[in-house]
Amino acid sequence: MKEPTLLPVSVPSVLVNANTGIAVGMASSICPFNLNEICRVTQELIKDNDYDVGEIIKAPDFIGGGQIVYNPVEMYQIIHEGKGSVRVRARYHYDKSNNCIDVTEIPPTTTAEAIIEKMIEKFKGGSLKEISDVRDETDKKGLKITIDLKRGVDPDKLMLKLYKTTPLEDTFSCNFNVLIGGMPRVLGVKDLLLEWIAFRTECVRRRVYFELSKGKERLHLLEGLQKILLDIDKAIAIIRNTDEEKEVVTNLMIGFGIDEVQAEFVAEIKLRHLNREYILKHTKDIEALQDAIRDMEDILSHPSRVKKIIIKELDGVSKKYGKDRRSEIVYQVELEELNEEPTVSDEPVHLFVSKQGYFKKISPQSLRMSGEQKVKDGDEIAASWDTTNDMELLFFSDRRQVYKAKVDDFEFTKASALGEFVPSKLGMDEGESYFDTVVTKKYTGWVLFFFENGKVAKVDLASYDTKTNRKKLIKAYSDKSPLVAVRHIEEDRDFVLVSSAGRHLLFNSGAVAAKTTKDTQGVAVMTLKKGQRLMTVRDHRPGEFAKPYRYRTKTLPSLGALLSEEDSAEQLKLE
């Protein structure tokens, strides 16, 4: 038996099935293309060797599907030069009812296990807080990776992040290194198909030639059998009257004028078959066989007929086995990049910050089961907020700097813990201390800065919003006088300013014009005598003063007023 060097395939399977391998000193990596597209483009190349294969073949088509990120330059190199790389993304759909992402198609270069393992690694590292669980739900219906999301997470933005940080997007490197006539060559799709067409042409010619030879042999035998039809009794008499077996063939050759091959064929016929019906049945197809032989000879003498056979066979394969594309082509050269901070959940949280700068993020469930807030000796809770996990934080320091962070940057803790020390967490300068916090999301409203010299600066909070991910802003407020208090307001309201002389001033923030310059000196609001300074600032509480007009003034700056007896008693009661 002989083993064939190549199998006479009727379709360019080298471009339909993914082929990767490494030999001695060389490697090959051929991406798969769609069977229908390969058959169509091969048919066009048979008709015209100069046909542009890019008209039909736009990109590879992987059996596992996915999305192909179309890059014209890279795709041209792959199709026309046989080298390059193609980016493949997983495909998914969002299950709104269960708030989860189902990944159903992944790149061919990875596995579900590798993807899940990478996600778990990212989650443990703290860079993938948007998910609550990930699991492999692959079954008989097909591949399925389920990613459970936390509340408020945008699934599309999360997938952009996962594409960038996990194997859900991977690159398939192409190197169409094939053996042509025993020599390795790197060819593009067109050149590979032209080589296959030449190979397939020879296959068809050899097949036709083989069938022609067999047909002629069969015709030759049938023509000998036909001569026996003229006198069956004579043939029987010759065989019966021959003395030796070895002379039977010779006597038949002489008696009917046939050659040795025909005579041998007749001699081997069983006695039961030496009847008119058997002979007529086997000789009636002589004319059809003669027509077939003439047709095969015509095929061998006309190359155009060989081409038509190849085209017809390609069409048959395409109709029988062809399927629609599985890999979706994304026709965007530059897809949306993940330039923004990762999307985080909007779950409710409770925030607490102490005067010394210890910050706590506590879930509502944990807070309900907690007791008193723990703080260091000499420290106390300065502010608290009931907000959501997707808010941003502005931490003002005592050195005119503001540090930006997200609530999500802080881990959940309990009331019994001290919390995270803000100066250490945000990397404040040596000797720099925490001063106050602003919680925001859309950077609306204003920030009020109250200074010891009695001035108040009103700065648009939008001035602290930055397009880039800057974490530290300098010159966050004026340095002309020490800072007493920072307040974030969405609308103007009343504050009570108290000087070191004990004077109180009821002041409405609407009296100060807003500025966009962060380090503006502000407007003089409280008049202070030599040696005096603004001591404290607090929100005005309705009913706090018996006669509020005593402490309010029509013009600024103002000295304010000393507390009346009834107000002094009320203040003691409130304290």
Taking the C-alpha atoms of residue 509 and residue 471, their distance in angstroms, rounded to an integer, is 29
Expressed in angstroms, the distance from the first to the final Cα of the chain is 107
Backbone φ and ψ for 446, nearest 5 degrees, come out as -135, 160
Residue 343 has pLDDT above 70, yes or no: no
Strand, coil or helix: 124: helix
Q: Give the type of residue at 145.
A: I
At 99-144, the pLDDT tens digits run: 999 999 999 999 999 999 999 998 888 788 889 999 999 999 999 9
- 525 CA to centre of own chain: 57
Strand partners, 388: 348
Taking the C-alpha atoms of residue 296 and residue 285, their distance in angstroms, rounded to an integer, is 16
pLDDT at res. 216: 94
> Tokens 């030496």 — which residue?
274
Residue 211 has pLDDT above 90, yes or no: yes
pLDDT at res. 333: 47
Residue 338 has pLDDT above 50, yes or no: no
At 235-263, the pLDDT tens digits run: 888 888 888 888 889 998 988 889 999 89
pLDDT at res. 2: 86
pLDDT at res. 553: 87
Looking at the chain, the whole-number percentage of residues with pLDDT higher than 90 is 67
Do β-strands 83-89 and 91-95 pair in parallel, antiparallel, or remain unpaired? unpaired
Backbone φ and ψ for 280, nearest 5 degrees, come out as -65, -40
**DSSP letters of 182-211?**
TEEEE--HHHHHHHHHHHHHHHHHHHHHHH
pLDDT confidence tier of residue 291, bands split at 50, 70 and 90? very high
Closest CA to 398 of 471, 483, 485: 483
Q: Give the type of residue at 498.
A: V
Taking the C-alpha atoms of residue 43 and residue 60, their distance in angstroms, rounded to an integer, is 18
User: What is 445-575's CATH topology?
Assistant: Neuraminidase (2.120.10)
Taking the C-alpha atoms of residue 189 and residue 57, their distance in angstroms, rounded to an integer, is 9
- With helix as H, strand as E and coil as C, how does 442-505 read? CCCCEEEEEECCCEEEEEEHHHHCCCCCCCEECCCCCCCCCEEEEEEECCCCEEEEEECCCEEE
Residue 331 has pLDDT above 80, yes or no: no
Angle between helices 248-256 and 232-241 (to 10 degrees): 150
Residue 339 has pLDDT above 60, yes or no: no
Taking the C-alpha atoms of residue 484 and residue 451, their distance in angstroms, rounded to an integer, is 5
- With helix as H, strand as E and coil as C, how does 317-356 read? HHHHHCCCCCCEEECCCCCCCCCCCCCCCCCEEEEEEECC
Q: Which two tokens stand for residue 347?
A: 């779950």
Residue 27 has pLDDT above 60, yes or no: yes
Q: What is the mean pLDDT of residues 267-280?
A: 78
The 420-421 sheet, strands edge to edge:
381-388, 348-354, 358-362, 420-421
Backbone φ and ψ for 269, nearest 5 degrees, come out as -70, 135
At 405-444, the pLDDT tens digits run: 999 889 899 999 999 999 999 999 999 999 999 999 999 9
Residue 169 has pLDDT above 50, yes or no: yes
Residue 223 has pLDDT above 70, yes or no: yes
Q: What is the mean pLDDT of residues 534-563?
A: 91
Strand partners, 494: 508
pLDDT confidence tier of residue 209, bands split at 50, 70 and 90? very high
What count of other Cβ atoms lies within 10 Å of the Cβ of residue 255?
18
Burial of 102 (0-12, 13-18, 19+ CB in 10 A): middle
